[in-house]
Amino acid sequence: MFCFPAMGHRHCCALGPMDPMRRSPSPCPSRPSSPRTPPCEMLGYVGIEAVLDQLKIKAMKMGFEFNIMVVGQSGLGKSTMVNTLFKSKMWKSTVQGLGTPTPQTLKLQSVTHVIEEKGVKLKLTVTDTPGFGDQINNDKCWDPILGYISEQYERYLQEEILITRQRHIPDTRVHCCIYFVPPTGHCLRPLDIEFLQRLCRTVNVVPVIARADSLTIEERETFRRRIQHNLRTHCIEVYPQKCFDEDINDRILNSKIRDRIPFAVVGADREHLVNGRCVLGRKTKWGIIEVENLAHCEFPLLRDLLIRSHLQDLKDITHNVHYENYRVCRLNESHLLPRGPGWVNLAQTPAGPLATPQPSKVHQQAQEDSEDGDEY
């Protein structure tokens, strides 16, 4: 039944022919309203932009996951930089030589914290790589790092291909790798070039110049241009890549970021009083280096890239590009797709370089049956 206003009174009109002997029902306004269906005046305007509010509410309930890996030699301030980024004690900084032995081999350490701010929960996992590049012979010292990244992809893939999988698969994949370049002032070392060529194919890499306060402004700019030249010469594509710019706005923003990479950063987790206000910085003999001051260092640019503007984009590229490349390689190596679309049985592979799994017993039995049929 649909209600239409008429001359001074209201009639209820049906979609079929009207029967004059049929008793007219009561007018629409006199019908008692159900508590479950409020009147139209109480609902207000409803538009498709309400979807944004629904997504926001659902996302705040579920929370977010973000995984970072920091790579660099010891003494470059990796732990301090992570603490400065999220303004919390993610890592306890230790001084080498004071009861802490130098690691003989590279060991990966991960720590997970749940950070909550204004009702938004962020599950942050930081993976440190102590011992990287600290030995005399650093041949293939990057294998444990690449193996760890592939292991997280494999773990996610094994959960994804299950017939009855979880509603929310835990995401331990590395979304961003911050690579700390020592402030030598010359150019990238052969170790950095060899590792970055392999690393940028599997994860988003953001290089930074560590302890930039040890360089003058002129030395910093010269060092940055040399590193950019090394990256172009050796075809090392760091984040954000040009091929992933979706529109003109992304192209403009990412071009400004690419022009400033690698960021010259300084980490500090202590506050000092400067001109009557507390600032986060590092105190030296000639003054205080303010971490959040662009005239002193480029830490605000790194923080905006990782948190304010590109956090979700880092996760999207990890899932749609790097993880997808890994998944395609694993499916191509499995050789178990002839039984039909969607039938996948991936064998577990050890961490490190991808190994070609052997055909399963089911597949071997199917081949033997087909050979026996050909004999008859």
Give tens-digit pLDDT for 38-70: 555 556 667 788 888 888 888 888 889 999 999
Q: What pLDDT shows up at residue 117?
A: 82
Classify 251 as helix, strand or coil: helix
In a domain, 22, yes or no: no
Instruction: Give the number of C-alpha atoms closer than 13 A to the C-alpha of residue 6, restricted to the C-beta side.
Output: 9
Phi, psi dihedrals of residue 296, rounded to the nearest 5°: -105, -45
Span 261-274, pLDDT tens digits: 999 999 887 888 88
Identify whether the C-beta of residue 183 lies closer than 8 Å to the C-beta of residue 211: yes
Per-residue pLDDT, averaged over 124-148, amounts to 87
* Domain residue limits at 249: 52-94+103-269+295-332
Q: What pLDDT shows up at residue 24?
A: 47
Identify whether the C-beta of residue 180 lies closer than 8 Å to the C-beta of residue 192: no
pLDDT band (50, 70, 90) for residue 148? very high
Q: What pLDDT shows up at residue 49?
A: 82
Q: What pLDDT shows up at residue 337?
A: 46
- Would you put residue 182 in left (φ > 0), alpha (ψ -120 to 50) or beta? beta
Question: Mean pLDDT highest for which of 26-30, 232-236, 286-290, 362-366?
Answer: 232-236
Q: Determine which helix (DSSP H) or strand (DSSP E) holds 311, and give its type and residue range.
A: helix 311-317
> Bridge-partner residues for 13, per DSSP?
2
Give residue for tokens 């402030």. Answer: 183
In a domain, 74, yes or no: yes
**CATH code (residue 109):** 3.40.50.300
Q: Which amino acid is at 211?
A: R
In a domain, 374, yes or no: no
**Nearest alpha-carbon partner for 65 in 311, 310, 244, 305:** 311
Identify whether the C-beta of residue 296 lies closer than 8 Å to the C-beta of residue 266: yes
Who wins on pLDDT, 161 or 344?
A: 161
C-alpha gyration radius of the chain: 30
pLDDT at 360 over 80: no
Mean pLDDT of the residues in the chain? 79
Q: What pLDDT shows up at residue 246?
A: 85
In a domain, 157, yes or no: yes
Q: b/e map of 324-339 (b: 16 or more CB within 10 Å)? A: eebbeebeeebebeee
In a domain, 337, yes or no: no
In a domain, 81, yes or no: yes
Q: What pLDDT shows up at residue 119?
A: 82
Per-residue pLDDT, averaged over 311-323, amounts to 95
Report residue 6 as tokens: 């008429």
In a domain, 275, yes or no: no
* Cβ partners under 8 Å of residue 338, min gap 6: none
pLDDT at 287 over 60: yes
Question: Mean pLDDT highest for which of 91-105, 296-310, 328-342, 352-366?
Answer: 296-310
How many domains, in total, are found in the chain?
Answer: 1
Span 227-259, pLDDT tens digits: 999 999 999 999 999 998 888 999 999 999 999
Span 160-216, pLDDT tens digits: 988 888 888 999 999 999 999 999 988 999 999 999 999 999 999 999 999 998 999
> Bridge-partner residues for 272, per DSSP?
279
Identify whether the C-beta of residue 211 lies closer than 8 Å to the C-beta of residue 76: yes
Above pLDDT 90, what percent of the chain?
39
Q: Is the pTM of this model over 0.85?
A: no
Q: Which amino acid is at 335?
A: H
Who wins on pLDDT, 116 or 222?
A: 222
In a domain, 290, yes or no: no
